[in-house]
Chain A
Amino acid sequence: MAPGVERSFTAASTLEEAMAARRQGAAVLAGGTCMMRDPRRGIDLPEAVVALHRIPALSKVEIEPDHVVIGAAVTHVVLGRALHGAAGFEGLVAAAQGAANPGIRRVATVGGNLCAFDFAAADLSPALLVCEATVELETFKGPKLLGISDFLKDRHTLLTEAIVTRIHLRRDLIASAHIRLPLRKAGDYPVAIVSLAVDKDKRCRIAVGSVEPVARRWTALEQAMAAGPPSALDPERAAGFALEHNDFQGRDGREAEGWYRRQVLPPLVKRGVAALLKTEGLA
């Protein structure tokens, strides 16, 4: 920022106020855990910022019998607490309670996690992919709903004129699990993340994070597993399918090289299926 220029900081109390600031070019500040590290990477902080934490509707989790709505400004800790014990959301709870470290989880938000498009190791992305979440955006032209896969693929463009406001989840899962592989217990990004879920039709959904630049569903594995009877959900068998249908191109990074991220997927699938079988919905 140029010397003598005062930074604009808007703590919006309504979505309209936030959108007005956004139209003026303000960057969205969520928990700050991503943006505040930008100077360490040689990136200047934005000249204008709009914070969303004072908008009440974006800071709550609404749990209904058939769906859940998560505000974009909900922190990992609040999300984990809110959904703890809700059948089918075991994986999302594990993702919210296992990401980063306790201090970060008290600050980092759901919206921030999904909007950090240069952060491949976001835990919530694969967990929300297997929930088949719908992302609600407020755009310059009005509200918009988008499937999470499309959102993750296109978010770089979408977010130039939109704010993520809420995440909508159907309650159609009977069990889910979230398996992550960090090299150390703390202070490390996971090398690879596998989220799994089983829906009411006994279909298995699987998503992978941190292996490629953007988290995605593992459709080849889902199809292979769907070919067998649901009762055949077996860790060893799933790991075999994962080995056979591993269509990932691992990204090279500081924590691990791409080949390693790809190679650890079958054992993570095995662990994930074992975790699924221990959940109340499948036990």
Chain B
Amino acid sequence: MTVTFQLNGEDCRFHGDPMTPLVDILRQERFLTGTKAVCREGFCGACTVHVDDEAVPSCLKPVGLVEGCAVTTIEGLSSGNQALHPLQANLEAADAVQCGMCFPGMVMSLSAFVRDNPHASRPEIKAAMVGNICRCTGYERIVDAVADCLDQARKAGQLVGGINV
């Protein structure tokens, strides 16, 4: 079966088993190894990507279900040649990254969250993170960075993600 979708803004065509987990196509066929396959049960969040702007676990997403969808991975959030996503910049500034295993998923979950919840409180930020497990346990610094990111956006009168409010 052929499945066609947008991957980081470009057309992507997959030929093969439609029940293949999206994470395997990203990593093994597209070499987008920022997305991590860890628990493969939807518990750890390391494989989180955006499908039509929603943060979802790619380990449980059969590629057949993304036909016609727009998929964004951590590589698509910022190419490296351009400015970082504001959340990434705040995480870097807060020195929040430790081993890096959970981080791509953490960023994908939280970048969608800050876009949709510009006035989120600290408990709401924590609630948004419960599906992203960090074994380095650096949670508090991540929460700090997200709170700073939202605070800066509010002061600038912008939603995180660049949309003026």
Contacts and interface: CB of A to CB of B under 8 A. Distances in A.
Say whether A and B bind each other: yes
B19 interface: yes
Nearest to A104: B42
Interface string B54-72: 1111011110110100000
B45 A101 contact: yes
Nearest to B59: A36
Contacts of A279: none
Contacts, number: 86
Contact of B55 (A7, A49, A51, A103): A103
A40 interface: yes
Contact of A7 (B19, B21, B56, B59): B19
Query: Which applies to chain A's interface (DSSP): helix, strand, loop or mixed?
Result: loop
B65 to A, nearest CB: 6
Given A7-B19, A36-B21, A185-B130, A103 B42 contact: yes
Contacts of B67: 11
Contact of B42 (A6, A9, A53, A101): A101
B43 A107 contact: no
Interface string B29-56: 0000000000011111100100000111
Contacts of B65: 11, 29, 32, 51, 53
A40 to B, nearest CB: 6
A67 interface: no
Given A36-B59, A101-B45, A103-B109, A49 B21 contact: no
Interface string A35-57: 01100100001000101010000
B128 interface: yes
Interface magnitude class on chain B = 20 to 34
A19 to B, nearest CB: 19
Contacts of B43: 101, 186-187
A133 B127 CA distance: 29
A187 B44 contact: yes
B56 A9 contact: no
Contacts of A6: 1, 17
A143 interface: no
B56 A107 contact: yes
Interface residues of A, number: 25
A230 interface: no
Given A7-B17, A51-B65, A104-B42, A37 B131 contact: no
B133 interface: yes
Given A101-B130, A103-B55, A186-B130, A37 B60 contact: yes
A9 B18 contact: yes
A196 to B, nearest CB: 23
Contacts of A9: 1, 18-19, 64
A13 to B, nearest CB: 12
Contact of B62 (A36, A100, A102, A186): A36
B57 A104 contact: yes
A23 interface: no
A33 interface: yes
Nearest to B42: A104
A106 interface: yes
A61 B98 CA distance: 42
12 contacts: A9-B1, A9-B19, A29-B62, A32-B62, A36-B59, A37-B60, A49-B64, A103-B45, A104-B42, A104-B57, A106-B54, A186-B133
Q: 8 closest Cβ contacts across the A-B interface? A: A101-B131, A186-B130, A9-B18, A187-B43, A36-B60, A9-B64, A103-B57, A103-B131
Given A32-B61, A36-B61, 13 more contacts: A9-B18, A36-B19, A36-B60, A37-B40, A37-B41, A40-B41, A49-B18, A100-B131, A102-B130, A103-B48, A103-B55, A106-B55, A186-B43
Interface of B: 1, 17-19, 21, 40-45, 48, 54-57, 59-62, 64-65, 67, 109, 127-128, 130-131, 133
